[in-house]
Amino acid sequence: MVLRNFFLFLSKNKTLNKSAKKWGLKLGAKHVIPGETIESAIDAVRKLNEKGLVCTVDHLGEFVFNREEAIESTDYCVRTIEAIAESGVNCNLSLKLTQLGLDIDRNLCRDNMRKILATAAKYNIFVRIDMEDYSHLDATLDLLAELRREYTNVGTVIQAYLYRAEQDVNNLKGVSLRLVKGAYKESPEVAIQDKAKIDENYMAIIKQHLLNGSYTAVATHDHNIIENVKRFALENNIPKTQFEFQMLYGFRTELQLAIAKEGYTMRIYVPFGNDWYGYFMRRLAERPQNVAFAARGLLR
């Protein structure tokens, strides 16, 4: 827990984030982030597709301070969608609303999302709104509800460590959700702190969404959770077309391929861009094994 809190603290350090952009993909990050450009991301996706894996790409970005930066991020998302369509790869788009101006002007963020979703709908591409910390939860869900009155090609993420996760999943019946354990440092007032209880709640909301008949993306590297989901789906006659597994680029690659070979949809989250620092620190915080992984990458 101490190590996790340390890396989560580092993830929010704006000075280190700024410096990291100058370093490039050092400290092992290049092994979990394929590159800084759209072209590098598409190339990585193409190689994963050839192995039977589908993908979602995310242009990393944090600490957006003004309208110009938000509009620039929006345009980059649009260009990414167009690059996906032009290349013909099997890939969705993931994004964060704070990149698009959520903390600056809600209406600006909404209009930016409309532009992205309209482009994505033209190419039949799905867009996933990544969930951020608890302070952005209500604003994210409110905006999602508004956008879904116009577009069906959009979903979001629910984090199992939040006490309200079950109610949020219930409210989002019929919406494609990525279900995760949670990657931010949250107060005990709003989030479960015990790992075993988080795992228990995670399985509970996965089962809940599946039984609701809703498309469910199970995003985890936990092989025990994965096996439990497979067994639950089989016992309840839930088709493989109603759910998928998701993992991060560069992690547990052998398990990714094994799951795909079993006939399940295995989607790889492929981040790219030079604003990689916050994402990388949160990955180090999630599992102690990730620190060793990064150290090996740095030595190589």
176-211 pLDDT, tens digit per residue, is 999 999 988 899 999 999 999 999 999 999 999 999
Say which of 110, 178, 282, 283 is annotated catalytic: 178
Say which of 58, 103, 130, 199 is annotated catalytic: 130
* Residues 189, 168, 154, 266, CA torsion sign: positive
The answer to whether residue 79 is catalytic is no
Q: What's this model's pTM, rounded to 2 decimal places? A: 0.86
The answer to whether residue 43 is catalytic is no
C-beta of residue 231 within 8 angstroms of C-beta of residue 20: no
CATH of domain 35-276: 3.20.20.220
What does the pLDDT read at residue 64?
84
Tokens representing 255? 């398990």
pLDDT less than 70: residues of the chain: 1-30, 62, 275-300
What does the pLDDT read at residue 17?
47
Helix 106-122 vs helix 67-87: angle between axes, to the nearest 10 degrees?
A: 10
What does the pLDDT read at residue 11?
41
